[in-house]
Amino acid sequence: MTSERFDILIVGAGPAGSFAAEKLARKGVCVALFDGRPAGEPKACGGGVTSKALKAWPHLLEAVGRTISDLDLYSPAGKKLHLKLEEPFAIYSRTAFDSHLRERAREAGAHIKAFRVSFNQRTNEEDDWVLRGRNGDEWRAPMLVAADGAGSRIAKELAGQLPPSEMEVAFGYRTPLPEGKDAPTVVAFLPGYAGYAWAFPRVDHISFGIATSQDAFDHQALDQLLWKFMVGYYRQRENAKAHLWHSRPQDEEGDALIRRELEATAERYAARIPGLAAKTLDTRRAAGKGWALLGDAAGFADPVTGEGIYYALRSAELFSESYLEGVPLDYEKRWRGDFGRELRRAAEMRQRFYGNFWGAPFTERMIELGRGHRGIKRVLRELVAGDQGYVNLKRKLARSAIWPL
Ligand SMILES: Cc1cc2nc3c(=O)[nH]c(=O)nc-3n(C[C@H](O)[C@H](O)[C@H](O)COP(=O)(O)OP(=O)(O)OC[C@H]3O[C@@H](n4cnc5c(N)ncnc54)[C@H](O)[C@@H]3O)c2cc1C
């Protein structure tokens, strides 16, 4: 049994933990970074990284991934809006993305420990935190950073448990890349549910998935919907006019064959994404004396889209800056001043975004308007890029509709 002491213990080497470890280690802080994920097992994720994130941290483009400059958006009724993006976003396999960030942390001098660790609450604020490995090894430090994801045990203990209504559920399948033409990148708003399905082609496979709220989660029905979407996607490779959600009678046999072939190779994945309510964002703390929560552990994901990678990286950056300036508790003020308002606005908008507007789903109207209106299309392009926030989205859409660009 060994016992080691560090300045900071970071639990979780996803984007949040690795990025914080890199930033701190570069400035000479003695950091231990723990992750118990088995080598080669990817975190369940679409792996989409907005152009806003790529502009903020250009080194992300060094990770092996695909840059995407064309996106097909589908309405719940199956209407398509093709967006040519001025600023591409990227899609990564999370194995490649996470190893890129972890290697940067290692090169910067962080001590990487490939172990799952357990944590106990301190009895006294002046005490060191102690993490323990399975074989009884111990690691101590005066500062503990939880970057251990949506199911964070540490966050539950230090900031409180989140209700199930503040968790999104996302699941999907990894399937082979179809042969021939380029595989399109697709986001399709779900018929009858809040949320969307995606098809994100990566370097050697496609990540399909559905993100929806845990409250509305009807696993069997949503799984069937995702299979229809996947089959529709492959069917469209042969016939661009095929519907994404329904088989035409003449395609039924062929579609059944596509499904059987996919079932033989598809690998399933599932996980949760935090989607905090505005009230929780107002009251839940992400920092206290000697501790901080980053990324999903803090609940920092967009409640409308489930996008969390940007917030994982940005929270890591804001915490590291506060710590290095000798004011770690300022992190709380900084995340609120930086992206807190945006997340709060997204939380307030969620219901309306997936609700009705002029007698149809808002997402249906948004795509219909985007198909006929250059101004609206431009705002949607900016939304996908991550450059258009929710704070002024309504005003921007209304203005674009009145003054076409
Ligand atoms: C299906 C799905 C699709 C998604 N698609 C997208 C997308 O396209 N774009 C996007 O921006 N976001 C997406 N997200 C959200 C995104 O995955 C998260 O917001 C992001 O991974 C958060 O990063 P993180 O570093 O906070 O946590 P994580 O990436 O979850 O990393 C946490 C790490 O902590 C480790 N860990 C946990 N407990 C312990 C322990 N006790 N000891 C040691 N290690 C531990 C885990 O092994 C894990 O590696 C998606 C999420 C899901 C579930």
Ligand 1 center from residue 272 Cα (angstroms):
9
- Token pair, residue 208, equals 């399909």
pLDDT exceeds cutoff 50 at 403: no
- Token pair, residue 9, equals 């213990």
pLDDT on residue 359: 78
Ligand 1 center from residue 150 Cα (angstroms):
7
Going by their DSSP bridges, the two strands 111-113 and 31-34 should be labelled as parallel
Homologous superfamily of domain range 3-44+93-163+274-351: FAD/NAD(P)-binding domain (3.50.50.60)
pLDDT on residue 401: 62
| 166 CB within 6 A, ligand 1 | no
Going by their DSSP bridges, the two strands 167-175 and 267-274 should be labelled as antiparallel
pLDDT on residue 180: 67
pLDDT exceeds cutoff 50 at 405: no
Query: What span, in angstroms and rounded, lies between the C-alpha atoms of 351 and 362?
Result: 10
DSSP 202-269: -SSSEEEEEEEESTT--HHHHHHHHHHHHHHHHHHHH-TTS-SS---GGGHHHHHHHHHHHHHH-EEE
Choice from 148, 213, 226 to test ligand 1 binding pocket (greatest atom count within 8 A of CB): 148
| 259 CB within 6 A, ligand 1 | no
Q: How confident is the model at residue 61 (pLDDT cuts 50, 70, 90)?
A: very high
Query: What span, in angstroms and rounded, lies between the C-alpha atoms of 218 and 223?
Result: 8
Contacts of 138 (CB under 8 A, 6+ apart): 1, 2, 3, 4, 130, 131, 132
Q: What is the pLDDT of residues 255-289, one digit of tens each?
A: 999 999 999 999 999 999 999 999 999 999 999 99
Ligand 1 center from residue 64 Cα (angstroms):
18
pLDDT exceeds cutoff 80 at 357: no
pTM here is 0.94
Least confident piece of the model among 19-28, 315-324, 339-348 = 339-348
What H or E segment, with its residue span, contains residue 146? strand 143-146
| 312 CB within 6 A, ligand 1 | yes
Ligand 1 center from residue 151 Cα (angstroms):
9
Q: In the chain, where are the structural domains located?
A: 3-44+93-163+274-351, 352-402
303-332 mean pLDDT: 97
376-392 mean pLDDT: 80
| 132 CB within 6 A, ligand 1 | no
pLDDT exceeds cutoff 90 at 107: yes
Ligand 1 center from residue 14 Cα (angstroms):
6
Helical spans, DSSP H, in 148-191: 153-159
DSSP 352-370: HHTSEETTEEHHHHHHHHH
Ligand 1 center from residue 3 Cα (angstroms):
28
Least confident piece of the model among 229-243, 306-320, 387-401 = 387-401
Query: What span, in angstroms and rounded, lies between the C-alpha atoms of 378 and 226?
Result: 29
Q: What is the pLDDT of residues 111-155, one digit of tens each?
A: 999 999 999 888 888 899 999 998 899 999 999 999 999 999 999
| 17 CB within 6 A, ligand 1 | yes
**Strand pairing partners for 52?**
none
Query: What span, in angstroms and rounded, lies between the C-alpha atoms of 167 and 209?
Result: 16
